Amino acid sequence: MNPLNLLRDTWFFFSRNLPTIALLCLPWVVLENLAQQAINAWLGSAEAIGYSLLASVLFYPLYSAALILFIDARSRVQQPSIGNLLAAALQFWPSFALLTVLSTLLIGLGASLLVLPALWVMVKLALAEYLLVLRGLSPLAAIRESMRLTKGYFWPIAACLLAVLLPLWLLDWWTYRQLGEQPNEWLAVLLDSANGFAQLIASVLLFRIYMQLSSPPTSEAG
C-alpha cells in the first residue's frame, strides 16, 4: 500500500467527478448543517450535542451510501443517475444509521481516553461502511470485518486519513478562531458545509483502500 499513490488517485477521481459528487452529496451536507445549526440555536450548543448527532444520523447515511455506490459504479465504468443512486442508498439507511451510531460511540469512547486510541478506532472502523454497502453485511459484521481487513495496516491508513483530514480540521479551527466564538449563523452553515463536503475526499480515499485490502492478497502484510 503506497499512501502517495492512493492520495494522488483519490484527488484525480474527486476532482474529475466533482460536479456529480456535488450534485449528489452537497445538498444533503447543507441540510445536515442547517439542521445542526437550528438545533444549536434552539437548545444552545452545550445541550444540543446529542440532538446534533441525530441530525447527522438522519442525513449522513444517505449521502455517504450514495457516494459509495457512485464510486463503485464509476470503478466499473458505469454512470448511474443521481436519482437511482439516492434510491439505492435509501435502502441502506436503517443499517447505515445504526453503523453510524455505533462508530460514533466507539470513536467517542476512544477520544475519552486519548487521541491515539480515537485514531486507532477510526482506522479500524474505516472500511465498515463499504463492507455494509458493497457486501451487504450487517453493522456488527461490517465492524468485525473492517477490523480484520485493517490488521497490519494501521500506520499506512492513518497516514492517508490524516493527510486528508488534518489540514481540513486545522483550517476549520483557524477559521472559527478568526470569526470569534459566535459567528454569523449562515456563515457557520456555509463554512461547515464546505468543510463537510471537502471531507468526502476521505470517502474516495477509503474506497481505494477498501479495494486494495479486500482483493485477494499477493503477499502477506508486514
Mean pLDDT by 10 residues, the chain (222 residues): 88 95 95 84 61 82 96 92 95 94 86 78 94 95 95 92 92 80 77 92 95 66 33
Would 196 be classed as within a structural domain? yes
pLDDT at 28: 95
pLDDT at 51: 64
Residue 62 · residue 46 · CB < 8 Å: no
Count of domains in the chain? Answer: 1
**pTM strictly above 0.85:** yes
Give whole-number Cα distances, 88 to 53, 63, 100, in Å: 23, 11, 18
pLDDT at 128: 96
pLDDT at 132: 96
Nearest-CA neighbor of 158 among 87, 196, 206? 206
pLDDT at 151: 92
pLDDT at 196: 92
Cβ of 169: how many Cβ atoms within 10 Å? 12
pLDDT at 222: 30
pLDDT at 219: 41
Q: Which amino acid is at 126?
A: A
pLDDT at 63: 95
- For the chain, how are helix, strand and coil distributed in percent, rounded to 5? 80, 0, 20
Residue 125 · residue 92 · CB < 8 Å: no
Residue 167 · residue 201 · CB < 8 Å: no
Would 220 be classed as within a structural domain? no
Residue 97: burial class (beta carbons within 10 Å; 0-12, 13-18, 19+)? buried
Residue 176: all three cell numbers together: 472559527
pLDDT at 218: 44
Nearest-CA neighbor of 131 among 211, 216, 197, 202? 211
Taking the mean position of all CA atoms in its chain, how far away is CA 200?
A: 6
Would 219 be classed as within a structural domain? no
pLDDT at 189: 85
Would 21 be classed as within a structural domain? yes
Would 73 be classed as within a structural domain? yes
Would 218 be classed as within a structural domain? no
Parent domain of 20: 3-208
